[in-house]
Structure 1
Amino acid sequence: MRLDDPALLALLLLLIPYTWLLRREVRLPRPSYLLPQLFGAPPVAGAGSRRLRTLPFLGVLRAVALILIIVAVARPQATTVEAVRPSEGIDIVLVIDASTSMAFSRISGAESRMEAARRVARDFVAERKASGADRIGLVMFQRRPLVLSPLTLDLDAIDEMIAVSVRSGLIPDGTALGVATMEAIDLLRGSDAASRIVVVLTDGENNVPDITPNQAAAVARAVGVRLYTIGLPTQVRQVGVALNELTLVYMADETGGVYFRATDARELSDAYQSISDLERERVGEERFLTTRELGPWLLLAAGLMIVLELALRSTRWRRLP
């Protein structure tokens, strides 16, 4: 709950003089009357004395009603978050290694690296689709890169391309990591999005010398593109031992991105989720709220208390003139 105008709660200070007047009313001496008493009759006790002692407590009803009115004037509101989405769109290019090692090496169980890469990338696209403002491009590579899609809002088409077109054998085998990264950067050159990123997934070392990964990272840094890199090592090794990991770490660090090491399908999925979370934090969120006014209910309760007080004063606690 929140108050739309909390400054009006200062009116609660009116309760101080009201409480003083109420206490003063309690302490005021009440007039007593001597009535003739018949011999043998029981003395006339103040039958209403108990009512008179409790009479000031009617003022409490009025005080509570006053508090409710003041709080109602401050406009208390109950808010509910209906939806959350990034305040600005993100432009993303997915770069996926489609070399034969991706197709034939297992990452967990019977699932190949390529199958896991496709599945997790599609989950990533589905999550970004919920924002409604992100554009995604798609590049796959072996010995040379193949741009499957420029930046587009049609994420259903991107999902279908990942499922159908990202596979080995369409182009000569190899690992053109640097050239593929440069192609992704080129797709982002005309973008004015709040955040521009390239997500590179590979399991090998660059073996096409036309453009090195370090050169691509330098260009990305110059044009303000962040590189997130994901490595699928052949064996479980410490970061930095494999040359491809050193390269991937450098690419990410040089551009303000992050390197993720994925040795199984769960870690691969976590890597894409972490990238999504990092970018959501970077661009901020836009929240859609529904607001329900509580003031009318407080005014209704205050009105009922005032009616109750007036009813009691005119019946059980009625004063004779």
Structure 2
Amino acid sequence: MLELTWPWFLCLLPLPILFYLLPKVAPKGHALWFPNARYLANRQENLPSKKSIRLPMVLLCLAWVCLVFAIARPTWLGAPTQVTPSGRDLLIALDLSGSMQIKDMTLNGHPTDRLTAAKSVLSDFIKNRRGDRIGLIVFGSKAYLQAPLSFDTKTINQLVQEEQIGFAGEQTAIGDAIGLGIKRLENKPSDKKVLILMTDGANTAGRVKPDQAASFAASQHLRIHTIGIGADSMQVQGFFGPQTINPSNDLDEKMLKNIAQKTGGEYFRAKSTDDLRRIYKTLDALEPTPAQAIWQRPITSYFHWLGLAAMIFLGLALLASGKFTLRIGRKA
């Protein structure tokens, strides 16, 4: 359905006609003297007839109509769609430290690094969280808000896929990531705040200690679910041949369990990509806060197109000024 935001602006449409109908003031002056009458005769032949309409005038009228309708703001209202938000504000804190490049995970049967596996599983998780507002925090040596809370899961998902190791530094500031999450959710209802923190190491940077951040998060009723990612064993090529090592030696599980316990969340251990999928499936099953359905109608504005058309007609009128005419009827 087409609607005009300011329809009263259409009253300006007859304004050029009113100016045209105003009585013309006769110029005051003396008669002109031409030394050669032929010059005057030639000028009379080149003048347009009374029934002619100049092309520039037509273009100017079209420009005026487009401009007035553009000011009236025509918009197209699409069919109403129902959105049922769960009322949950969900922040995802993703570790981008240097250790996330360790290739101890598999994806589609091929070895891959931890970050790539995490982004693949996160993509499916975000797509299924329709109705929640989702935000993204990335952390390394420092913590940054990559995307504020939004219902636009498509954009959030795209930002997740664009993340690269080292964007936030090589170390791990877990306490700062939690602190940033608390700040972004401090004014939200206490029964709607959730932070999912995924890391593969221990707190090695930042100003805030994880225990202090967890205690403050608990006082703010922020529930934190922690995920420790990384395999328990991995084959590497050593000097004396293949060796089995534990690539997750740096993972501080005790700290992650303490954070989850203090805030009423859960701690999960992801040793493989399949473990990650099961964990996020469990998190996806969390009961949402009931909320009423919201009806939304997509709105498409045509203001800029009409404004562009007005500029084009005005430009054509300036080009055609005094050069082109449309003749109506035959010459006498």
For the criterion TM > 0.5, the same-fold answer is: yes
Identity %: 30
- Number of residue pairs the alignment of both structures matches: 196
Taking only aligned residues, the RMSD between alpha carbons, in angstroms, comes to 2.7
Is the 1:201–1:229 contact (alpha carbons within 8 Å) kept by the matching residues of 2?
yes
Superposed CA deviations along residues 198-218 of structure 1, whole A, max 9, x for unmatched, are 000000000115111111111
2:181 partner letter? A
Amino acid of the residue matched to residue 255 of structure 1? T
* 86, 89, 96: which one aligns with 2:94: 96
Match of 1:107 in 2: 105
Equivalent pair of 1:89/1:194 in contact (CA under 8 Å): no
1:117 — aligned with what?
Answer: 118
1:224 aligns with 2:221: yes
Provide the C-alpha distance between the structure 2 equivalents of 1:124 and 1:210, rounded to a whole number of angstroms: 31
TM-score calculated relative to the size of structure 2? 0.54
C-alpha separation between the residues in 2 aligned to 1:279 and 1:181? 23
- Tell me, which stretches of 5 or more residues in structure 1 are unaligned? 1-84, 288-321
Amino acid at match of 1:102: M
Q: What amino acid is the match of 1:256?
A: G
Partner of 1:78: none
- Partner-residue secondary structure (3-state), 2:265: coil
The 2-side partners of 1:188 and 1:148 are apart by 15
Name the CA distance, whole Å, in 2 between partners of 1:234 and 1:182: 28
**Residues 277 and 174 (structure 1), Cα distance of their counterparts in 2 relative to 1, 3 Å cut:** same
**1:257 is paired with a residue of what secondary structure?**
coil
Relative to 1, partners in 2 of residues 1:183 and 1:219: Cα closer, same or farther, differing over 3 Å? same
- Alignment-mate amino acid for residue 124 of structure 1: F
Q: Is the 8 A contact 1:87 1:286 kept in 2?
A: yes
Which residue of the partner structure matches residue 197 of structure 1? 194
1:136 is aligned to 134
- 2:212 alignment counterpart: 215
Task: Please show how residues 112-261 of structure 1 align to structure 2 within 5 Å.
Answer: 112-129=113-130, 132=131, 134-164=132-162, 166-192=163-189, 194-208=191-205, 210-235=207-232, 244-261=252-269
Q: Residues 111 and 243 from structure 1, CA distance in 2 versus in 1: closer, same or farther, beyond 3 angstroms?
A: closer
Superposed displacement of residue 195, structure 1: 1.7
Deviation at 1:86, TM superposition (A): 7.2
User: What's the offset of the Cα at 1:232?
Assistant: 1.3
Q: CA separation in 1, counterparts of 2:155 and 2:217? A: 26
Between structure 1 and structure 2, the one with the greater Rg is: 1
CA distance in 2, matches of 1:137, 1:186: 13
Structure 2: distance between partners of 1:128 and 1:267: 19
SS in structure 2 of the partner of residue 110 of structure 1:
strand
Paired position in structure 2 for 1:275: 283
What is the Cα deviation at residue 235 of structure 1?
2.1
Task: Tell whether the 8 Å contact from 2:174 to 2:206 is kept in structure 1 after alignment.
Answer: no
CA offsets, 1:258-293, max 9 Å, x none? Answer: 00001000101111111121244xx36989xxxxxx
Give a deviation string over 1:34-81, Cα, whole Å, max 9, x none. xxxxxxxxxxxxxxxxxxxxxxxxxxxxxxxxxxxxxxxxxxxxxxxx
Question: Distance in 1 between the 2:279 and 2:291 partners?
Answer: 21
TM-score under structure 1 length normalisation: 0.56
**Distance in 2 (alpha carbons) for counterparts of 1:214 and 1:154:** 32
Q: 1:167 to 1:279 in 2, by over 3 A?
A: farther
Report if aligned partners of 1:92, 1:135 keep a CA contact under 8 Å in 2.
yes
